[in-house]
Structure 1
Amino acid sequence: MTIRVRPVVADDEAAWLQLFRDYVTFYEATVGEDVLMSTWQRLLAGSDNMMALIALDETGRPVGIATLVFHRSTWSPTWYCYLEDLFVAPDVRGGGVGRALIEATYQEADRRGATRTYWATQEKNAAARALYDRLATLTDFLQYRR
């Protein structure tokens, strides 16, 4: 499968919203429509050091998304890139879409001078973790949240 990854544009709204809703469902979570729309507007505006990527198959069909958040670090004079959201449509998983989105994330991080790119996933997400193990290093940090 040939995959093209690019930043989202206004015309991607319906496709991005559907893929993001599917992503939220995958993680058995709930995100309000007001938050979805606010997030879309922030991504489109390029504000808050956030951006979204969309992956298109050879027919131009949107098949995956990634959300990148760039932030400063107390451990480095440079920026870091947090790959906050990564989702691939179920019918094309295993076809290189996730890899293409991560590689595009790395390229954007490099372009911006970010010295670390990182993300988290559920421990039980074995299919995704098999890819992540080939593209990054698993750390021994655990996530806590309030």
Structure 2
Amino acid sequence: MSINISPLASQNLTEWRLLWQDYLDFYQVNLSDDIIQSTWQKVSNSENIKGFGAFVDNKMIGFVHIVIHPNTWNLTDCCYLEDLFVLPEYRNQGIGKKLIEYIYQYAQEHKYNRVYWVTDKNNHQAQQLYNKLANDSGVIQYRKNF
């Protein structure tokens, strides 16, 4: 199976929306159409937020979104891997790994000082992959929503 990873473009909107909804369903999150449209605009046409799709035979089967930002501990920007999703029927075939490795390469080419992400503590399947590709930072995330 040949996998192509490329930046999201306007022709990917319909497929991305279907995968994005599957991703939101997995996390049991409901977002308004305004937020979904805004997210699409950001991941497909923003300086600091980027989206990339994984394609097999021109069919989008996964995506990754990153947020580029400055930080107080380095002179160069960081890359936060905010979202990663692969259709269930394509999981355990190395696609998530390829998406992360693509982001690693992208980050190195752009001289970002690190790629980092968080995952749900109960998402053990994803953690099996992440433990092979990066180090658990031991950080606990706290949050207060407004």
TM-score (norm 2): 0.95
Superposition pairs of residues 66-77 of structure 1, within 5 angstroms: 66-77=64-75
Shift in Å, 1:43: 2.0
Number of residue-to-residue matches in the alignment: 144
Q: Are the equivalent residues in 2 in contact too, given 1:63–1:88 (CA < 8 A)?
A: yes
- Distance in 2 separating the partners of 1:84 and 1:44: 14
Superposition pairs of residues 1-146 of structure 1, within 5 angstroms: 1-47=1-47, 49-57=48-56, 59-146=57-144
Higher relative contact order (CA 8 A, sep 6+): 1
- Distance in 2 separating the partners of 1:2 and 1:123: 31
- Distance in 2 separating the partners of 1:50 and 1:134: 25
Which ranges in structure 1 are unaligned for 5 or more consecutive residues?
none
- Distance in 1 separating the partners of 2:106 and 2:58: 21
- Distance in 1 separating the partners of 2:58 and 2:45: 23
- Distance in 2 separating the partners of 1:111 and 1:17: 29
- Distance in 1 separating the partners of 2:91 and 2:80: 22
Shift in Å, 1:2: 2.1
Shift in Å, 1:107: 1.2
Q: Deviations over 1:18-55 (max 9, x none)?
A: 111110100111111110101111222224x0100000
Q: Are the equivalent residues in 1 in contact too, given 2:85–2:96 (CA < 8 A)?
A: yes
> Counterpart of 1:39 in 2: which secondary structure?
helix
Shift in Å, 1:142: 0.4
- Distance in 2 separating the partners of 1:117 and 1:6: 18
Q: Are the equivalent residues in 2 in contact too, given 1:72–1:78 (CA < 8 A)?
A: yes
Residue identity in the other structure for 1:27: Y
- Distance in 1 separating the partners of 2:135 and 2:33: 35
- Distance in 2 separating the partners of 1:109 and 1:120: 17
Which ranges in structure 2 are unaligned for 5 or more consecutive residues?
none
Segments of 4+ moved more than 2 angstroms: none
Question: What RMSD, in angstroms, separates the aligned Cα atoms of the two structures?
Answer: 0.9
